[in-house]
Amino acid sequence: MSGLRVAIRGRSFGDKSVLGEIGFDLEPGERLALLGPSGIGKSTLLGIIAGTDTGFEGTVTRPDGRIAVVFQTPRLLPWRTLAENIAVVPGAGDLDRARSLLAEVGLGEACDMHPERVSLGMQRRAALVRALAVDPALLLLDEPLVSLDPQSVGAMRDLLTFAMDRTGATVVMATHDRREALALTDRIVELGGTPARLVSDRKSPLGRDARRDPRQVDDVYREWFEPDSFEPGGGAAA
């Protein structure tokens, strides 16, 4: 079984060079976070990995099997119910299977509603169910926790872990949130510069149980991202 091999030499839009040289290999089932500020090129890189963007230089080798993408916005079909949104995807199964998958993530009551009738958090959950319903070998997640309220973030984080465990997929998750990256993935790369390249590529010391403990996430967060925030003789900087 193969994982994912990314060897990009560049991606430009017109004369604007967005991505420079970016390379990494993932083992099958490995979970990678792509960290970086807004506009750095995370969604662009995910589009290249997904195969929807072919206007780049370089090569991407994907694992055998299906690819599922959960976009930054849920992109559900507004004229279909949540269950229908899942059942229309080739390979996702019938309406009954869609309803039972939705029930597993707490959307049993909402499964026959249309997207506009449910909250953004519920739409996000449905979009994630739609992705895991096809049992993907490669799961691409674009900012899955952004603009959710704190309570929904916790539920969504649990659901993402469930989806990743259930599918065993190789995962690439774009996020600008470092704690979220530590809470969900095995390895974290940071994009920086113009054009963007990898400024770091680190394996998380947190195993899959440890990363569910917010205190352990905080410890690694401070060690990795705030090494300069301790002032000699004083407390930690705010």
Ligand X SMILES: Nc1ncnc2c1ncn2[C@@H]1O[C@H](COP(=O)(O)OP(=O)(O)OP(=O)(O)O)[C@@H](O)[C@H]1O
For binding to ligand X (CB under 6 A), which residues are involved? Answer: 13, 18, 36, 38-44, 72, 176
Beta carbon of residue 202, minimum distance to ligand X (angstroms, whole number): 19
Which residue lies nearer to ligand X by CB, 43 or 161?
Answer: 43
Residue with Cβ nearer ligand X (39 or 205): 39
Nearer of residues 18 and 120 to ligand X, judged by Cβ: 18
Nearest to 141 by CA among 122, 159, 119: 159
Nearer CB in complex with Mg ion: 101/145:
145
What is the torsional sign of CA 76, 77, 83, 88? Answer: negative
Least gap, CB of 150 to Mg ion (angstroms): 22
User: Nearest distance from residue 42's CB to ligand X, in Å?
Assistant: 4
Rg of the Cα atoms in the chain: 19
What minimum distance in Å lies between the beta carbon of 122 and ligand X?
A: 22
Query: In the range 72-101, which residues lie near Mg ion by CB under 5 A?
Result: none
SS3 81: coil
Q: Is 173 helix (H, G, I), strand (E, B) or coil?
A: strand
Of the pair 30, 190, the CB lying nearest ligand X is at 190
Least Cβ distance, residue 36 to ligand X (angstroms): 6
Among Mg ion, ligand X, none, residue 18 binds (CB under 5-8 Å by kind): ligand X
Q: Which of 184, 176, 238 is nearest to 38 (CA)?
A: 176
d(CA 219, CA 204): 12
> Taking Cα atoms as reference points, which of 83, 132, 78 lies closest to residue 111?
83
**173 strand-pairing partners:** 33, 141
The answer to whether residues 35 and 190 touch, using CB atoms and an 8 Å cutoff, is: yes
Contacts of 159 (CB under 8 A, 6+ apart): 105, 125, 128
Q: Which of Mg ion, ligand X, none interacts with 114 (beta carbon under 5 to 8 A by kind)?
A: none
Nearer to ligand X, 36 or 74 (CB): 36
Task: Note whether 43 binds Mg ion by CB under 5 A.
Answer: yes
In angstroms, give the least distance from the CB of 40 to ligand X: 4
Give the DSSP H or E segment for 85. Answer: helix 82-87
Stretch that binds Mg ion, among 37-45, 99-107, 124-132, 182-190 (CB under 5 A): 37-45
**Site for Mg ion, rule CB under 5 A:** 42-43
